[in-house]
A and B are shown apart, each in its own frame.
Chain A
Amino acid sequence: MTDVIDTLVGIAPGSKLDAIRAQRSEARKHAQASYTSLFEPKDLGTVTADERHAIAAFVAGLHGEPKTSAFYAAKLPAGLGAAVAAEVAAAKSKGPYGHFPKGPLSAEDAPGPTWEVSDAGRKILGPRLTAAFEHTHMLVFHPRDAAAPSLQSLLDAGWSTTDIVTISQLVSFLSYQIRVVAGLSTLASTL
C-alpha cells in the first residue's frame, strides 16, 4: 500500500526527504497505519466510509491545504462532495481562537463564532453529519472552547461514545497529516 503522506508531498524513493523520513520509520509506518485504521478499517463499525471521508474533506478544506483537500474530496460521491465544498466556503476562518478558563488567561481570550451548517447543507448532510461538522469546526479553529455540551450534541444526533472517539481521532489525525504534508512540502522546496 502506498504511503499517503509520501504521495501527497511527492516524496520519491531515494530522494533526500525519503532518507529523512526513513530515520523515523516507525512514525512513518504508524502515521500510515493511522490513516488505514480511520479510512480502511477492518470493521467500519457504525461510522460509514462516506461519513469518514466527508469529515476529512471538511477538515482539509478548512485548512486550505490543496493536496490533502483534493485527496479527500475525490473520495466523496458528487452530491456530498458539493455540499462539503459549499460548507467549507462558508465556514473558513482563522485559528486558533477561543476562551481560556476564567482567570489571568482571560486577557488572552480571542472570542470568535460558533459556526452552524447552512439550511441547504443540513438537508444533504443529515443530522449526524451536521452535528459532526459543527463539532469539527470547533475542533479545527477553536478547540479550547470545547466543553461537554458539544459532545452531548453529537450523542443526541445519534453518534455513540465509541463513534465520537473515532471521529475525534479522525479530525485530530487530519490536523496532524495536513501539517506534515504542508511542512514537508515546504522543506522539500528548499532541498
Chain B
Amino acid sequence: MSETKTSEKTLTPPPHTEPVVFTRDMLDWLPWLEPMAEADMTERHLTSLVDAARVKSPYFRLLARDPDVLEARTRTDKDIFYNPEAGLPRAERELAAAATSRLNGCIYCASVHARFAATYSKRVDDVQRLLDEGVGAKLDERWEAIVAASVALTTIPMTFGKEHVERLRKVGLDDAAIADLIGAASFFNWANRLMLSLGVPATQG
C-alpha cells in the first residue's frame, strides 16, 4: 500500500424515506458501499449472481465483488427455501425467516419473507400480527412453536434445546422438517446481517 493512498469513502444514498415499521410492502434497498458497475463485471461475476436478473440489484452487484462466496451463499439459500421435497412446508420456512428477521430488526428481509409466508400460507392476518407485535405475537400452537424455535436459535446465547425439538414434534414436525427450520432460521442470521450492515431500506414511490 503506497503512503499516498487515501481510503475509499462510503456512499451517501439519494434522498429517500426509511420505513419505520415492519411491513409486507415492497421496499427498495440502497447500498452504503459501491456495487460493481455492470460494465466491469466479468463472466465469473455474472454467473455468481445465479439469476441473471439480479444484475439489476445493487445488493447482488455489491456482493458480486466476492463472487465465489456469493454463488455459494445463493445456492445454499435456494435449496433451503425452494427445495419442495419433504421437510417443512414452504410457508413455514418463510415464517421462520420472517420471525428471525423480525427479532434481529431487518425490516427489508422481514418484508420479503412475510410476503412469501402470507402468500404460501394464506394466513395474512397472522403474518401481519407477527410483524406488528413481534415474536411474542399470538398465532397458533404450531406457528408459535416455529417462531419460538427460530428465536431460540437467533438469540445469543442460543437457547435452542431439546424442549424446542419436543414442542415442534408435538405440533407435527418430523426430523426433516425440524432440520429445515434450523436451516431457515440460521440462514436468516446470515442474510439479516448483510442487508442490515451494507445498506438501508427505503419505501417505494
Contacts and interface: CB of A to CB of B under 8 A. Distances in A.
Interface string B151-185: 00111111011101110000000011011101101
B18 interface: yes
Interface of A: 16-17, 20-21, 23-27, 29-31, 33-34, 36-38, 41-42, 62-65, 93-96, 98, 100-105, 108, 135, 138-141, 143-144, 146-152, 155-156, 158, 160-162, 164-166, 168-169, 171-173, 175-180, 182-184, 186-187, 189-191
7 contacts: A24-B179, A33-B75, A63-B157, A161-B65, A173-B73, A184-B179, A190-B165
Interface residues of B, number: 71
Contacts of B85: 23
Contacts of A169: 63, 66, 69-70, 73, 194
Contacts of A103: 20-21
Contact of A146 (B161, B191, B196): B196
Contact of A105 (B20, B71, B75, B161): B20
Contacts of B18: 101
A96 B166 CA distance: 25
Contacts of B21: 103-105
Given A95-B156, A96-B105, A169-B63, A27 B80 contact: yes
Most buried by B among A95, A98, A141, A146: A146
Contact of A62 (B87, B156, B165, B175): B156
Contact of A27 (B86, B164, B183, B196): B183
Given A23-B87, A172-B194, A175-B190, A182 B104 contact: no
Closest 4 CB pairs of A and B: A103-B20, A144-B105, A183-B182, A26-B79
A148 B176 contact: no
Nearest to B186: A179
Contacts of A156: 7
Interface string B38-76: 000000000000000000000000110110111111011
Contacts of B62: 165
B139 interface: no
A17 B153 CA distance: 18
Given A161-B33, A165-B66, A183 B73 contact: no
A96 B8 contact: no
A27 B183 CA distance: 9
A151 B155 contact: no
Contact of B192 (A24, A27, A143): A143
A155 B72 contact: no
A69 to B, nearest CB: 13
B161 A186 contact: yes
A143 B197 contact: yes
Contact of A150 (B104, B107, B197): B197
Nearest to A65: B158
